[in-house]
Amino acid sequence: MIPFLDLKKINDSFQPELNEKIADCVASGWYLLGKQVKEFEKEYSEYIGTSNCVACANGLDALTLIFRGYIELGRLKPGDEVIVPGNTYIATILSITECGLVPILVDADPITLQIDSGKIEEAITPLTRAVAIVHLYGRNSFATEIADICSRHNLILVEDNAQAAGCRNSDGRITGSLGNAAAHSFYPGKNLGALGDGGAVTTNDPELARIVRTLAFYGSEKKYVFDYCGRNSRLDEIQAAVLRLKLPRLDEDNSRRRVIAEIMQREISNPLIGLPYPENDKTGNNNVFHLFPVFCEDRDRLQNYLMENGIQTIIHYPIPPHRQKCYEGKIPIRHPLDVTEWIARTELSLPISQVMTEEEALQVCSILNDFK
């Protein structure tokens, strides 16, 4: 059996230090708002390359706090439009609608599977104030073209970096430092995963960082004084200690994922199975392969076949956000979403991780190549 993601094996690879760090936290008697979180924020902002990092409870909160922060700063207001890829995990869209903003869905590029940068400009209206890009599947979705559109139209650029920890732009900058603000998730299955929920906001904007920190702490900057209606959203000390242990190995882990991805790119040769487009960035660093998506018109039969042959897969995602019941009649669909629909119909994510062996990858390829 080759599991989709062997979290136990991943975490075992950090032993015995992992247990020691946790035991130290337990013994310290200090569980929230302490040294571990402070140090993690410092180390993560250094890694990402931003002047600020605010840790919070999860990736959805990170995204929501960014939009709420911009609203409190007067740079966004409810009713404003945010351009966002239609092909994303629903959390990106939830953060927009939760703040009373309007998501304007733009289709994916069929090659990169990321937001189609050539379709952003035509989605702009007088109400557009922001663009949210999502580095989906671990692939960098930033393009200078997007930054140019944002600066020409005075739009805020938000990055959803939940799936792309450690990914690089072609100029070497890391995703999470490319826009005005970025949201990160440390959900256990992410490339940088905690042992529970976790998230962070990174930004070079000190005002945004301040307001995000305040909103994440009940809306308070001064003890028992509440200037905003905030929430409680924090990373705990144990998770911060775990992330501090894992962060120094993130680049190495991502390189391992690339080795596995290269094997699958090279070895899968079944005409019924479409592969993600190979990297156009010579460094290869613009993809950290959080997922390895393949495409098949007979996807459900392929998934069953793989399961019967001991290979676990997951679909990302079977129903796109705009067709979910929660958004029925509630969000505008102004632009065609054909590629998004095609991805939802045909996508299947193969096992990939830093602890998967080359033999396992070859086994996956050989079983896939026998699919008829």
Ligand X SMILES: Cc1ncc(COP(=O)(O)O)c(C=O)c1O
Q: Per CB under 6 A, does 91 bind ligand X?
A: yes
**Of 114 and 180, which CB lies nearer to ligand X in the complex structure?**
114
Query: Residue 40 gets which letter from DSSP?
Result: H
- Evaluate whether 246 touches 193 at the Cβ level (below 8 Å): yes
Minimum CB–partner distance for residue 49 and ligand X (Å): 20
Do the strands 181-185 and 156-160 form a parallel or antiparallel pair, or are they unpaired?
Answer: parallel
Considering only residues 196-255, where is the footprint of ligand X by CB under 6 A?
A: 197, 199
- Evaluate whether 50 touches 208 at the Cβ level (below 8 Å): no
Minimum CB–partner distance for residue 108 and ligand X (Å): 13
**Of 155 and 164, which CB lies nearer to ligand X in the complex structure?**
164
Site map 106..145 versus ligand X, x via CB under 6 A: ----------------------------x-----------
**Of 185 and 285, which CB lies nearer to ligand X in the complex structure?**
185
Q: Which of 67, 70, 89, 142 binds ligand X (CB under 6 A)?
A: 89
Beta bridge partners of residue 314, listed in sequence order = 349
Considering only residues 41-80, where is the footprint of ligand X by CB under 6 A?
A: 58-60
Minimum CB–partner distance for residue 57 and ligand X (Å): 8
**Of 254 and 263, which CB lies nearer to ligand X in the complex structure?**
254
- Evaluate whether 259 touches 266 at the Cβ level (below 8 Å): no
- Evaluate whether 186 touches 198 at the Cβ level (below 8 Å): yes
Residue with tokens 């337990």: 26
In angstroms, the CA 168 to CA 284 distance is: 9
Alpha helices in 140-249, H assignment, sequence order:
144-152, 206-216, 237-246
Lay out the sheet containing 156-160: strands in order across: 52-56, 199-203, 181-185, 156-160, 128-134, 81-85, 102-106
Stretch of residues binding ligand X (CB under 6 A), selected from 87-95, 120-128, 223-231, 264-272? 87-95
**Of 92 and 354, which CB lies nearer to ligand X in the complex structure?**
92
**Of 72 and 160, which CB lies nearer to ligand X in the complex structure?**
160
**Of 163 and 303, which CB lies nearer to ligand X in the complex structure?**
163
Number of alpha carbons in the 13 Å side-chain half-sphere of residue 327: 21
CB-based closest residue to ligand X: 59
Stretch of residues binding ligand X (CB under 6 A), selected from 83-91, 223-231, 297-305, 335-343? 83-91
What percent of the chain is helix, strand and coil (3-state, nearest 5)? 40, 15, 40
Minimum CB–partner distance for residue 160 and ligand X (Å): 5
Site map 139..168 versus ligand X, x via CB under 6 A: ---------------------x-xx-----
In angstroms, the CA 114 to CA 119 distance is: 11
- Evaluate whether 191 touches 250 at the Cβ level (below 8 Å): yes
**Of 143 and 192, which CB lies nearer to ligand X in the complex structure?**
192
Minimum CB–partner distance for residue 197 and ligand X (Å): 6
Contacts of 129 (CB under 8 A, 6+ apart): 75, 76, 80, 81, 82, 155, 156
Write out the DSSP string of 157-177: EEEE-TT-TT-B-TTSPBTTS
Minimum CB–partner distance for residue 154 and ligand X (Å): 25
Q: Which of 50, 92, 233, 346 binds ligand X (CB under 6 A)?
A: 92
Minimum CB–partner distance for residue 191 and ligand X (Å): 11
- In degrees, rounded to 5, the angle at the alpha carbon of residue 56 between the alpha carbons of residues 50 and 58 is 110
Q: Which of 45, 128, 185, 191 binds ligand X (CB under 6 A)?
A: 185
Task: Give residues in contact with ligand X (CB under 6 A).
Answer: 58-60, 88-89, 91-92, 134, 160, 162-163, 185, 187, 197, 199
